[in-house]
Amino acid sequence: MLLQAVFLLLLHCLASTLGQYELCKSLVSTDEGSVWEQYACQPKQASMKDHMRIKVDPPGITCGNPPERFCTLENPYLCSDECDASNPDLAHPPQLMQDRERNGLLTYWQTVTWRRHPEPLLANITMSWNKSLELTDDIQITFEYGRPTIMIMDKSMDNGRSWQAYQYYADDCIDAFNMPPKRVRDLLPANITRVICTEEYSRWVGSKNEKNVKFEVRARFAVFAGSRLQNMDSLYTRMESMKGLRDFFTFTNLRLRLLRPALGGTYVQRDNLLKYFYAISNIEVPARCKCNLHASQCLLQEGNLQCQCEHNTTGQDCQRCRKGFKAKSWKAGSYLPTPNGTPNTCTIAGSSSGSNCECYGHSNRCSYIDYLNIVTCVSCKHNTRGQNCQHCRLGYFRNASAELDDEGVCIECNCNQMGSVHDRCNGTGFCQCKDGAAGAKCDDCLPGYYWKQGCYSNVCDEEMLLCQNGGTCYQNQKCICPPEFKGVLCQQPRCEAGKDCNAASSLHPPTATLLLCTLLAHLLAMLTPH
Ligand SMILES: *[C@@H]1O[C@H](CO)[C@@H](O)[C@H](O)[C@H]1NC(C)=O
Ligand SMILES: *[C@@H]1O[C@H](CO)[C@@H](O)[C@H](O)[C@H]1NC(C)=O
Ligand SMILES: *[C@@H]1O[C@H](CO)[C@@H](O)[C@H](O)[C@H]1NC(C)=O
Ligand SMILES: *[C@@H]1O[C@H](CO)[C@@H](O)[C@H](O)[C@H]1NC(C)=O
Ligand SMILES: *[C@@H]1O[C@H](CO)[C@@H](O)[C@H](O)[C@H]1NC(C)=O
Ligand SMILES: *[C@@H]1O[C@H](CO)[C@@H](O)[C@H](O)[C@H]1NC(C)=O
Ligand SMILES: [Ca+2]
- pLDDT tens, 198-223? 999 999 998 889 999 999 999 999 99
Cα(364) to ligand 4 centroid in Å equals: 18
Please check whether residues 279 and 401 belong to one and the same domain.
no
Q: Identify the band that residue 20 occupies on the pLDDT scale cut at 50, 70 and 90.
A: confident
Classify residue 149: in a domain, yes or no.
yes
Classify residue 307: in a domain, yes or no.
no
For every residue of 182-245, DSSP letters joined together read: --GGG--GGGTT---EE-TTTS-S-TTT--EEEE-SHHHHHHHH-TT---HHHHHHHHHHSTTH
Per-residue model confidence (pLDDT) at position 338: 84
Please choose from 399, 430, 441 the residue to mutate so as to test ligand 6's pocket, defined by most ligand atoms within 8 A of CB. Answer: 430
Q: Can you give the CATH number for the domain in which 204 is found?
A: 2.60.120.260
User: Can you tell me the distance from the alpha carbon of 394 to that of 116, in angstroms, rounded to the nearest whole number?
Assistant: 63
Low-confidence winner among 99-113, 322-336, 342-356 (lowest mean pLDDT): 342-356
Please check whether residues 469 and 406 belong to one and the same domain.
no
Per-residue model confidence (pLDDT) at position 498: 56
| SS3 state of residue 30 | strand
Q: Which of 412, 446, 469 is the endpoint of a domain?
A: 412
Q: Identify the band that residue 110 occupies on the pLDDT scale cut at 50, 70 and 90.
A: very high
Classify residue 73: in a domain, yes or no.
yes
Q: Which of 231, 255, 287 is the endpoint of a domain?
A: 287
CB neighbours of residue 81 within 10 Å: 15
Please check whether residues 63 and 195 belong to one and the same domain.
yes
Cα(81) to ligand 1 centroid in Å equals: 29
Per-residue model confidence (pLDDT) at position 435: 92
Contact criterion met (CB below 8 Å) for 478 and 455: no
Please check whether residues 255 and 159 belong to one and the same domain.
yes
Contacts of 150 (CB under 8 A, 6+ apart): 169, 170, 171, 176, 202, 259, 260
Domain extent, residue 476, equals 458-492
Per-residue model confidence (pLDDT) at position 443: 94
Examine the pLDDT at 303 and tell me if it is beyond 70. yes
Low-confidence winner among 127-131, 303-307, 341-345, 373-377 (lowest mean pLDDT): 373-377
Per-residue model confidence (pLDDT) at position 525: 53
Cα(302) to ligand 2 centroid in Å equals: 9
Per-residue model confidence (pLDDT) at position 369: 80
Q: Which of 287, 306, 321 is the endpoint of a domain?
A: 287
Report the atom number in ligand 3 closest to the C-alpha of 182. Answer: 14
Please choose from 127, 156, 304, 308 the residue to mutate so as to test ligand 2's pocket, defined by most ligand atoms within 8 A of CB. Answer: 304
Report the atom number in ligand 6 closest to the C-alpha of 429. Answer: 1
DSSP letter (8 states) at residue 502: S
- Is residue 399 in contact with ligand 5, taking CB distance under 6 Å? yes
Q: What does the pLDDT look like over 267-288, one tens digit per residue?
A: 999 999 999 999 999 999 999 9
Examine the pLDDT at 522 and tell me if it is beyond 70. no
Per-residue model confidence (pLDDT) at position 509: 42
Contact criterion met (CB below 8 Å) for 430 and 443: no
Q: Identify the band that residue 365 occupies on the pLDDT scale cut at 50, 70 and 90.
A: confident
Per-residue model confidence (pLDDT) at position 32: 80
Contact criterion met (CB below 8 Å) for 31 and 17: no
Please check whether residues 380 and 254 belong to one and the same domain.
no
Average pLDDT over residues 501-506: 47
Cα(426) to ligand 6 centroid in Å equals: 6
Classify residue 517: in a domain, yes or no.
no
Q: What's CA 396's distance to the chain center, in Å?
A: 25
Per-residue model confidence (pLDDT) at position 499: 58
Instruction: State the ligand closest to the CA atom of 130.
Output: 2
Instruction: State the ligand closest to the CA atom of 186.
Output: 3
Q: What does the pLDDT look like over 394-439, one tens digit per residue?
A: 999 999 999 888 899 999 999 999 999 999 999 999 999 999 999 9
- Is residue 368 in contact with ligand 4, taking CB distance under 6 Å? no
Per-residue model confidence (pLDDT) at position 114: 96
Examine the pLDDT at 521 and tell me if it is beyond 70. no
User: Can you tell me the distance from the alpha carbon of 313 to that of 344, in angstroms, rounded to the nearest whole number?
Assistant: 10
Cα(128) to ligand 2 centroid in Å equals: 11
Q: Identify the band that residue 13 occupies on the pLDDT scale cut at 50, 70 and 90.
A: very low
- The four Cα atoms 12, 16, 22, 28 give a dihedral, to 10 degrees, of -30
CB neighbours of residue 94 within 10 Å: 15
Please check whether residues 400 and 465 belong to one and the same domain.
no
Q: Is the peptide bond before 339 cis (omega within 30 degrees of 0)?
A: yes
Number of domains in the chain: 3
Please check whether residues 250 and 105 belong to one and the same domain.
yes
- Is residue 465 in contact with ligand 3, taking CB distance under 6 Å? no
Classify residue 179: in a domain, yes or no.
yes
Contacts of 289 (CB under 8 A, 6+ apart): 43, 46, 131, 132, 133, 134, 295, 298, 305, 307, 317
Q: Identify the band that residue 360 occupies on the pLDDT scale cut at 50, 70 and 90.
A: confident
Q: What does the pLDDT look like over 467-485, one tens digit per residue?
A: 999 999 999 999 999 999 9
Q: What does the pLDDT look like over 46-62, one tens digit per residue?
A: 999 999 999 999 999 99
Q: Can you give the CATH number for the domain in which 471 is found?
A: 2.10.25.10
Atom 10 of ligand 4, residue of closest alpha carbon: 312
- Is residue 342 in contact with ligand 5, taking CB distance under 6 Å? no
Please check whether residues 392 and 253 belong to one and the same domain.
no
User: Can you tell me the distance from the alpha carbon of 358 to that of 369, in angstroms, rounded to the nearest whole number?
Assistant: 15
Instruction: State the ligand closest to the CA atom of 429.
Output: 6
Examine the pLDDT at 194 and tell me if it is beyond 70. yes
User: Can you tell me the distance from the alpha carbon of 143 to that of 147, in angstroms, rounded to the nearest whole number?
Assistant: 6
Classify residue 193: in a domain, yes or no.
yes
Please check whether residues 101 and 242 belong to one and the same domain.
yes
**Angle at Cα 253 formed by Cα 238 and Cα 90, nearest 5°?**
130
Low-confidence winner among 27-31, 313-317, 434-438 (lowest mean pLDDT): 27-31
- Is residue 124 in contact with ligand 4, taking CB distance under 6 Å? no
Low-confidence winner among 82-96, 131-145, 254-268, 357-371 (lowest mean pLDDT): 357-371
Contact criterion met (CB below 8 Å) for 275 and 72: yes
Better-scored residue on pLDDT, 74 or 94: 94
Please check whether residues 147 and 54 belong to one and the same domain.
yes
Residue type, 386: G
Classify residue 36: in a domain, yes or no.
no
Low-confidence winner among 139-143, 346-350, 373-377, 508-512 (lowest mean pLDDT): 508-512
Please check whether residues 389 and 479 belong to one and the same domain.
no
pLDDT, averaged across the chain: 88
Per-residue model confidence (pLDDT) at position 516: 44
Please check whether residues 200 and 281 belong to one and the same domain.
yes
Examine the pLDDT at 349 and tell me if it is beyond 50. yes
For every residue of 56-90, DSSP letters joined together read: EESGGGBS-SS-EEE--SSSTT---EEE-TTSTTT
Classify residue 355: in a domain, yes or no.
no
- Is residue 312 in contact with ligand 4, taking CB distance under 6 Å? yes
**Angle at Cα 40 formed by Cα 405 and Cα 349, nearest 5°?**
25
